[in-house]
Structure 1
Amino acid sequence: MMRRYLVPLLLAAVARTAHAQEATPFEGIADEPARTAIRAIIADAAARGLPTAPLVTKVREGLAKRAAPDRIRTATALLMERLAVAQGAMAPSQSVDELAAAADALQVGIPASTLRDMRKIWPSKPLTVPLGVLAEMVANGVSRPVATRRVRELLLKGATLTQFATLGTTVGRDIAAGLAPDAAMELRSKGVLSLIESRAGIGTTSAPLRPTGKN
């Protein structure tokens, strides 16, 4: 599953836009019933106001992997269902990247209630990167309760997108080095929280008293 962080996020957005502008790759699907079914899935998604670019990308990924036509059809249908759930949870956002990231989170078992909670915490900020980090942490073995709790804390504390992206990178590196996934998430997220709190403390430090001129 491709993750979306900063430069990779921008590249993914450009790729999806380019794919949306190209002809849908139906011609690459040899099986006619599957091809017809996939056409219908994408048409249905468009009629429901769902983004079709992620669906086209899913078809292309299946073709690139030489997946069986029925598997491509099933994967595309399941993605459409996740996008529909994501659209409701992320409302009023219509960002293709945000909805795609929410669909990724749903795929690894993050419930829609968590997505709605994240939207409530950040009603007007893009959740693409935090959602991507959450989904990747769970995919890398971090338990859903730990990953969800830590990401939620960072949202409440106002962590930056860069801090979220760095968290994902460092936790992934720690896990690859042999640290237990939950321990890596706890350790690195606490570090980010400490940094946020220390900077907040500096910003709220009282100004020094000025001399009044009186003896």
Structure 2
Amino acid sequence: MRRHAILLLGALLLATAPVHAQELSPFDAIADEPTRAALRTIIADAAARGLPTSALVTKVREGIAKRATPDRIRSATALLAERLAVASSALAPTRSAEELAAAAGALQVGIPASTLREMRQLWPQRPLTVPLGVLSELVASGVSRSIATRRVRDLLVKGATTTQFAALGTTIQNDIAAGLSPDAAMELRSKGVLSLIEQQINEGVTTTGAPPRPPVRR
């Protein structure tokens, strides 16, 4: 009975342990003890601030898989934690772990926090994961930040769906691969989606089933 009680207690302790603590075991692959300690501190601090630690753990595992130096792994993880903190502030009050990861990716390619705040204002209750991911992907593919940001904003204002955003990103990537300049592809394809949405609004139809949004005065 006593042995059974000890085993049960051990199982309960494992089940209730903080997620970030359980995720740290793979870090033992890093030989440098100061780096391991620094990573534990970074992730513990992130957890205390309510930031998703899974993205940080993934970053560490990527560094290990790529045989990066301990210093580089620590630096990359610390920078990601900072971007997640900025993203959390910019997307408040509505945010999810997926959104924060996507927003951190946008910050990494040079999208300013002010753009993230504006996107949240335009979509206060809808997840921005896909629009943010597409924006980051397009900028990374060579579309200028100003054009990509402006067109994504236009699509958010018009009420584009996540499906339309995802399809837009794929189409533009295909255009770029076929030889069209990134900015030209962005302008061409985004105008096509905006035209389609405008047509649906004029016909009193929306792809989401919600009432069409009134035109925005500028």
C-alpha distance in structure 1 between counterparts of 2:21 and 2:202, whole Å: 48
Inter-CA distance 93–21: structure 2 relative to 1 (3 Å threshold)? farther
Q: TM-score, normalised by structure 2?
A: 0.82
C-alpha distance in structure 1 between counterparts of 2:77 and 2:184, whole Å: 35
Inter-CA distance 43–137: structure 2 relative to 1 (3 Å threshold)? same
Q: TM-score, normalised by structure 1?
A: 0.84
The equivalent residue for 2:46 is 45
- Give percent identity, aligned residues only: 73
The equivalent residue for 2:80 is 79
- What amino acid is aligned across from residue 60 of structure 2 in structure 1? V
**1:93 Cα deviation (Å)?**
2.2
The answer to whether the 8 A contact 1:108-1:138 is kept is yes
C-alpha distance in structure 2 between counterparts of 1:69 and 1:121, whole Å: 41
C-alpha distance in structure 2 between counterparts of 1:69 and 1:176, whole Å: 36
The equivalent residue for 2:33 is 32
Map 1:1-215; keep pairs closer than 5 Å: 23-24=23-24, 25-203=26-204
C-alpha distance in structure 2 between counterparts of 1:186 and 1:22, whole Å: 46
C-alpha distance in structure 2 between counterparts of 1:21 and 1:191, whole Å: 48
**1:177 Cα deviation (Å)?**
1.1
Which consecutive residues of structure 2, in runs of 5 or more, have no partner in the other structure? Answer: 1-18, 206-218
The answer to whether the 8 A contact 1:26-1:39 is kept is no
Q: Secondary structure at the match of 2:51?
A: coil
C-alpha distance in structure 1 between counterparts of 2:59 and 2:189, whole Å: 32
Q: Give the aligned length.
A: 186
- What amino acid is aligned across from residue 151 of structure 2 in structure 1? R
Structure with greater contact order relative to length (CA < 8 Å, sep ≥ 6): 1
List structure 1 runs of 4+ shifted beyond 4 angstroms.
Answer: 19-22
C-alpha distance in structure 1 between counterparts of 2:27 and 2:94, whole Å: 29
